[in-house]
Chain A
Amino acid sequence: MNNILMTTLALTGISAIFALLLTIADRTIGDYGEVNLTINDEKEFTIEGGDSLLSSLIQEKIFIPSACGGKGTCGYCKVQVEEGGGPVLATELPFLTKEEMSNNVRLSCQCKVKEDIKIHIPEELFNVKEFDATVESITDLTSVIKLVRIKLPEGEEINFKSGQYVQLKAPLYEGNDEEVYRAYSIASAPSDKNHIDLVIGYVPEGIATTYVHHHLNVGDNVNINGPYGDFYYQDNNREMILVAVGTGVAPILSILNYMKENKIQRKATFYFGAKTPDDLFMLDYFEELEEKLYDFKFVPCLSRVTEEHNWSGFKGRVNNAIDEFLEDKGDREAYLCGNEPMINSVSKSLINKGIPEEMIYYDKF
């Protein structure tokens, strides 16, 4: 009896001493006190030191795009740290180019705020807001792609340009034990500031797509923040070439909706690439746009059609369609959205047709 008591006491005592020691260390070594955060030389915040720059900024309601949730694997959360970020860490090196390093660009999720810090971020990031929105409707576009209509809280609005994206937070659910943010382009027109439409495809084992396809119901709350992105409609009179595959249709749809609402008189051609007729969606809507828009042509391209599909449209990939149909002349601009191989091969075809590289805007995913 005595022995058991002695053992317990000794063990508890020793553990308690170490716990006390660690608590003291946490309060002294781990405490960085309050530090000043200066953004773009104008906005000043006093924040608690010790956190990463990214999470400190989120606490101040400033959102830097980040897809991985601060783990240092996506490389999106770059900011320019002018003063007080400490040395560049080994975990950041794979994401930074030489030029970025000489401009003091850092990954904000890796850079710890330990002293007064001065940073520089693009002005439009101040426009980024966080919304606790609700799902208004979910429509199946194909068997693996859903159109999710999200209503922002009453009285709040989002100001975005056609082609920009928002980040959707995938919360914890059964089978997923980490919160992640994933980027989805807005498909609706910027005029409706209280709603946004997202086109979300199902990716097997994708954290956010599984959440949307299997767990999200009409009426549920969703957390989004945005808008982000430098892929958006450019206001000029050039002829437009729009190319999208799969869910890449979303930003193109937003651009077309914008053009329809504002009765913009520009010549535009939209190449929509897919594998089989089952992968195409909203065909009626795009055909209707051919009537409603000033000068709009819709070209669906299917790369894997067989006799059974009875397909009368173009057979082949989008870049083949561009090689075949597009005239060789300059002064046009192109908007591409889709996967990397598509963007690369289409860019090559467009450059061959005389479109300068800087006139090709794209959104890769």
Chain B
Amino acid sequence: MSLILLAEQILNGLQSGIMLFLMAAGLTLVFGVMGLINLAHGSLYMVGAFAAAATAAATGSFLLALVASLAAAAAAGAIIEITVIRRLYARDHLDQVLATFALILIFSEGTRWLFGSFPLYLEVPRYLSGPVTLPGGIQYPLYRLAIIVVGLIVAAGLFWLIARTRLGIQIRAGESDREMIAALGVDISRLYTLVFALGAALAGLAGALVGAIQSVQVGMGEPVLILAFVVIVIGGIGSIKGALAGALLVGMTNTLGGILLPQLFGLFMDPASATTLGASLASMAIYVLMAGILVFRPSGLFAGAT
């Protein structure tokens, strides 16, 4: 395997890790602040992608499509928070799982009803299409490079928001003692709606950005949701830093495992069965990673930290 190919795969792993972080950040924030497990987070990813695809088809502008994905996912998030999610904070996790599972059914079938079962396509804009040559002679798609950069900027913005702004202080205070900040005069239900909408907007943005690489279809959020769960279990639930570390680890393992494992088995097996076995094991690699981490750190790598 050439070094150039390896570098390309590392960039791919970075790209999928960054997108996973956008998903996982919302999940882990909502869990950290409100103590809620939200299965419908994948639906918000899907809402973002569909909003982007529909807007791009109507206006032809990719930037407008991204704005639409943020707005639609944030709005959908705020609506379900006010109508449903709010009633679940005091409930046990079982009720939360079921209610948000019900929301998935409603979102998925509702989207199928609105847009039909066929996948939509979101085109990469012309100014971002085509490859770019990186130092070392690596040819890499410009669009993927752009979403790595966008993802990193958003991640930095999120860290700044939580560490440096008034909203961030309230979020961190809400994580450690929600009764106290309510007593100090913070409108807790408004804060919750805001945090939920923020997480939803990040998921929607990720959906739109990834939607331009893959197809936009019903159920697209579910595999990502499960990966995001693995991410926050690895990183420690409630920890943004943990979500970033976990996302990069999962993104890299998933991408590199698919390339390296078949080659590794090819060293001592015939190529056909090495490919089959390698592919099977690569699809399981992140779960093995998760199990391994849990044996040593049952509450994740960054448990307790924010």
Chains A and B are bound partners: no
Chain B: residues with CB nearer than 8 A to chain A? none
**A contact residues vs B (CB 8 Å cutoff):** none
